[in-house]
Structure 1
Amino acid sequence: MTDRRAELAANLARVEERIAGACAAAGRKREEVTLIVVTKTYPASDVRLLHELGVRHVAENRDQDAAPKAAACADLPLTWHFVGQLQTNKVRSVIGYSDVVQSVDRAKLVTALSAAAVRAGREPEVLIQVALDAEVGARGDRGGVAPDGVEELAAAVEAADGLRLGGLMTVAPLAGEFAGRQRAAFERLMEISSRLRATHGPATMVSAGMSADLEEAVAVGATHVRVGSAVLGVRPPLG
């Protein structure tokens, strides 16, 4: 086993132990939570090693890095998630490899994604990114729509050709009433998710929690956690 493979295996085991422990503490089954490994800035060789180690969901946040990496790993049965802020001029490329776009936060982006998906003959799942620090009617500093805009955007996604509404995503806010209160932030997201499911039943996915706060997200019901540094490390990337 190479040093890098051994490192990734050990890190994955620790993260798996954390997720399993959080599920047990919350009275949830381990299979209720999907681990997405965020491979941004790391090379395709790491993605291949992760696949060997059992990872099936990977995420990227910059199209210029993600597109060539996804192409280099096109032979692997992976689900690719796009989690970064997305400009409309990158949509066509992102649709080419992304199975899930987690950062939908405005109607213009829904329109662009729909057109690109239909053109490419693909049907990606999309999540509405919720900015829990945004004022009413505004977008967050790190992307995302304010909670009051979720229903309107969900309706736009459901009406759009080529897209499937999967649910919600958030990043724990750095400012505002939820700053430093990850669990409270995730609880708020779950409240919004409950309302969304009442009107859009299949939209059950809740993507929340990262390396530092995955336990809080699992505790309140997140279905997916996005973990980068706890798996890949915080040292300078390889390659």
Structure 2
Amino acid sequence: MSEADAARRAEIAANLETVRARIAGACAAAGRSAAEVNLVAVTKFRPASDALHLFALGQRLFGENRDQEAAAKSAEVAAVLSAVPRDQWPEWHFIGQLQTNKAKSVVSYADAVESVDRVELVAALAKAAERSGRRPRCFVQVNLDPRAVRESGGRGGAHPDEILQVADAVADSGALRLEGLMAVAPLDAPPEPAFERLAALAAKLRGVHPDAVSLSAGMSGDLEAAVAVGATHVRIGSALLGGRPPLR
């Protein structure tokens, strides 16, 4: 390992320790076990080498939000880990807005799709899954910001009134597995009220689909608020890897 690589791994290791401590602290404050919360390391805009450093440090869940980058990065990581047993490879979560014409590509590498927000996308993912023989887990993404408009570059997500329709489509597809809900807190507003609404929606979903117990919420700036309302997955990027430099 080069001196630069060793320095980068040490930096990431320190960040990972800090993030894990934050998760543990948030869980303690909420009366939960830290084992209940899964850390999804968001490696978007970062090279595959960063994902490999995290893997060497014990991280197994990774999140990406652009298909072209995710497909290339997951393939690069897989090539490096070819001698590692397949069941020990990283788990990839697709977390970005997704067009239906990208469903086939995403299904080819993603173990979970966290941004399922409309019935048309469910149909495209199910078709791709049936053809590939894979069965990705799906989170229904909820739009917690009524000001956000998908066509204007918003963060995506189903309207709260549409959640059950999308969830039913996933559950009835036969090719996909319904995991639970995902959401991003609105910008420029305290996250707590939005996450409390999300927790209520998650409880409503579980009333219809009891196995949909996962809740993906919380990022570098608000993971504590998400853990407080029951998040099972937190998606952390900048707190682990820094800002957004171009891929090298």
User: What TM-score does the superposition give when structure 2 sets the normalisation length?
Assistant: 0.91
Structure 1 Cα separation of the partners of residues 247 and 98 of structure 2: 25
SS at match of 1:134: coil
For residue 73 of structure 1, report the CA deviation from its aligned partner.
1.4
Equivalence for 1:218 = 227
Equivalence for 1:165 = 178
Contact 2:46 2:244 in 1 (8 A): no
Contact 2:216 2:234 in 1 (8 A): yes
Equivalence for 1:133 = 145
Structure 1 Cα separation of the partners of residues 179 and 74 of structure 2: 22
Q: Deviations over 1:49-82 (max 9, x none)?
A: 1000010100000001000111111236111000
2:65 is aligned with 1:56: no
Equivalence for 1:232 = 241
Distance change in 2, residues 1:18/1:237 (3 Å): farther
Contact 1:58 1:79 in 2 (8 A): yes
Equivalence for 1:113 = 125
2:39 is aligned with 1:27: no
What amino acid is the match of 1:131? N
Structure 2 Cα separation of the partners of residues 223 and 19 of structure 1: 11
Equivalence for 2:100 = 88
SS at match of 1:4: helix
Distance change in 2, residues 1:163/1:235 (3 Å): closer
SS at match of 1:58: strand
Unaligned runs of 5+ in 2: 82-87
Contact 2:170 2:178 in 1 (8 A): yes
Distance change in 2, residues 1:235/1:147 (3 Å): closer
Structure 1 Cα separation of the partners of residues 123 and 245 of structure 2: 37
Identity in percent? 57
For residue 161 of structure 1, report the CA deviation from its aligned partner.
2.5
Structure 2 Cα separation of the partners of residues 41 and 238 of structure 1: 6
Contact 2:97 2:115 in 1 (8 A): yes
For residue 12 of structure 1, report the CA deviation from its aligned partner.
0.4
Equivalence for 2:84 = none
Contact 2:23 2:224 in 1 (8 A): yes
For residue 97 of structure 1, report the CA deviation from its aligned partner.
0.3
Q: Deviations over 1:91-120 (max 9, x none)?
A: 110000000000001111000000000000
2:201 is aligned with 1:192: yes
Q: 2:42 aligns with which of 38, 49, 54?
A: 38
Structure 1 Cα separation of the partners of residues 155 and 36 of structure 2: 27
Structure 2 Cα separation of the partners of residues 100 and 123 of structure 1: 9
Structure 2 Cα separation of the partners of residues 223 and 112 of structure 1: 27
Contact 1:157 1:163 in 2 (8 A): yes
Distance change in 2, residues 1:201/1:132 (3 Å): same
User: What TM-score does the superposition give when structure 1 sets the normalisation length?
Assistant: 0.94
SS at match of 2:97: coil
Give the total of aligned pairs: 233
Contact 2:23 2:34 in 1 (8 A): yes
Contact 1:126 1:163 in 2 (8 A): yes
Contact 1:133 1:146 in 2 (8 A): no
Root-mean-square deviation over aligned CA pairs: 1.5
What amino acid is the match of 1:236? P
* Structure 1 moving runs of 4+ over 2 Å: 138-141, 235-238
Unaligned runs of 5+ in 1: none
What amino acid is the match of 2:122? V
Q: Deviations over 1:144-183 (max 9, x none)?
A: 0110000111111111131000000000012xxxx51201
